[in-house]
Structure 1
Amino acid sequence: MAKPARPGRIDPTWPELPDGEHPVSELASPMQGSLSPFGDLEFPLDSVPYEHPITKINK
């Protein structure tokens, strides 16, 4: 007999799709390997949109 479903163990970020549809994953990718978390960006970038924080010490 199967164990009862535990709603606390279901991934809340998994998309709700109509029947017959599948969420896009690495299985639907046009290339092998893991997909980039940065989307369609190609590296190296021309410029980096990052500014390092500077701490001013109060004396």
Structure 2
Amino acid sequence: MVNKSKKPYVDNGWPQVANGDHAVTELSSTRSGSLSPYGEETEFPLPVDQLPYVHPHTVINR
């Protein structure tokens, strides 16, 4: 007997868009490959003064 209580897989990762809009994917993009999460205006490498990174400094307690 087949167990019918198992629910089919639903991908919850697809974005919610307004009615009539389409989510941009690799299939509907002008570029092949994955799209940048930073947008198209950001160029890498960034100048050092624009980086939000602060190098950690450990003070040894002696």
When normalised by structure 1's length, the TM-score is 0.54
CA RMSD of aligned residues (A): 2.9
Structure 2 unmatched runs, 5+: 1-5
What residue is the counterpart of 1:46 in the other structure?
47
Q: Number of residues paired by the alignment?
A: 55
Identical aligned residues as a percent: 48
1:52 deviates by 0.9
TM-score, with normalisation over the residues of structure 2? 0.52
* The structure with more radius of gyration: 2
